[in-house]
């Protein structure tokens, strides 16, 4: 058996069993090369619908299609040996009915090979989550700030302060009761996120929800600093690759314009030089 075939991939029951254990590490990935890097260090590679904004330049996630999620989902699955790929269900692909959700979730899994999907919504999506999980579709839930509902929420704001707290708690409890194996808490006040984490028996994965969740997720391009003008409060920059890329591309452009690139060592001569020590006949 090769070293590659011996790697055991993470699956939804493994994530659920991590409740209260070592924190779960989750990052987004949208391509095979990035998935390979994420796979080496993380438990979950989330193919987020954030791909619409990060890769395709859309103003929100609302324009993301099933075809886009399948394309990027396949790429990420190819790059993962250990980390579990989870694919976001795009806006409009699951809200109409549990039956619509099952058709699209099963398509995502069948056409990408991913073992789980993620969808947004709390109590109003509980019936759909139960329908999916009863039919072999593992679901990661998502409550608090749900970006697909940004127009209803009135912006990308913190959700769960004051009178909203009880609703967010009820949403989290509802998705757990419906069968979700984990739940993302986005932009939820730290105290509330801690109370939800303590109340649930499934892992909570925070993004802008404090350190007391069972795990954390970030958009990989944000934490790598690939966007120089986008700095959400909840994102820590672990690198400044956008700045480094800008400097590198500027240097390349300058060298092309002044003809210092390509240099002789980057080209190929008309004749192949004789190897050292070769005897000329």
Instruction: Detail the residues annotated as belonging to a binding site for Mg(2+).
Output: 49, 88, 120
Backbone angles phi, psi at 134, to 5 degrees: -70, -15
Please enumerate in sequence order all residues whose Cβ is within 8 A of that of 228, keeping only pairs 6 or more positions apart, or say none. 240, 242, 243, 246
Q: Given CA atoms 104, 117, 61, 174 in this order, what sign does their dihedral have?
A: positive
Burial degree of 4 (CB within 10 A; 0-12, 13-18, 19+):
exposed
Note every long-range contact of 100-104, with CB atoms under 8 Å and residues 24 or more positions apart, other chains counting: 101/128, 101/131, 101/132, 102/131, 102/132, 102/135, 102/137, 104/66
186 counts as catalytic: yes
Question: Residue positions in the annotated binding site for 3-methyl-2-oxobutanoate?
Answer: 49-50, 88, 118
Catalytic residue selected from 67, 95, 127, 186: 186
* CA proximity to 31, closest of 54, 61, 60: 54
Half-sphere exposure of 42 (CA within 13 A, CB side): 27
> Residue 144 and residue 165: Cα distance in Å, rounded?
9
The owner of tokens 């090369």 is 33
- Residues 189 and 233 sit within 8 Å (Cβ to Cβ): no
Q: How far, rounded to the nearest angstrom, does the alpha carbon of residue 186 sit from its chain's CA centroid?
A: 13
- In degrees, rounded to 5, the angle at the alpha carbon of residue 46 between the alpha carbons of residues 226 and 243 is 5
Cite the active site residues. Answer: 186
């Amino acid at each position: 058996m090769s070293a590659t075939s011996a790697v055991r991939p993470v699956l939804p029951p493994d994530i659920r069993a991590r409740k209260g254990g070592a924190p779960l590490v989750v990052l987004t990935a949208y391509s095979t090369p990035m998935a390979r890097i994420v796979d080496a260090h993380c438990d979950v590679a989330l193919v987020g619908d954030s791909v619409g904004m990060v890769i395709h330049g859309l103003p929100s996630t609302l324009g993301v299609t099933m075809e886009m999620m399948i394309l990027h989902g396949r790429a990420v699955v190819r790059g993962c040996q250990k980390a579990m790929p989870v694919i976001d269900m795009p806006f409009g692909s699951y809200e109409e009915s549990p039956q619509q959700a099952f058709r699209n979730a099963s398509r995502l899994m069948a056409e990408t090979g991913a073992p789980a999907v993620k969808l947004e919504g709390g109590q109003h999506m509980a019936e759909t989550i139960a329908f999916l999980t009863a039919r072999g579709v593992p679901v990661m839930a998502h409550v608090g700030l749900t970006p697909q509902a940004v127009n209803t929420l009135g912006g990308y704001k913190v959700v769960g302060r004051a009178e909203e707290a009880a609703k967010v708690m009820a949403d989290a409890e509802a998705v757990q009761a419906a069968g979700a194996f984990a739940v993302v808490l986005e932009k939820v006040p730290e105290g509330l996120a801690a109370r939800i984490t303590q109340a649930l028996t499934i892992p909570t994965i925070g993004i802008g929800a404090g350190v007391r969740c069972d795990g954390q997720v970030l958009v990989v391009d944000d934490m790598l600093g690939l966007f120089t003008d986008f700095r959400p409060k909840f994102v820590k920059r672990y690198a400044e690759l956008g700045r480094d890329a800008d400097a590198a591309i500027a240097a390349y452009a300058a060298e092309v314009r002044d003809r210092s690139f390509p240099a002789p060592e980057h080209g190929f001569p008309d004749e192949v030089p004789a190897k050292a020590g070769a005897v000329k006949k």
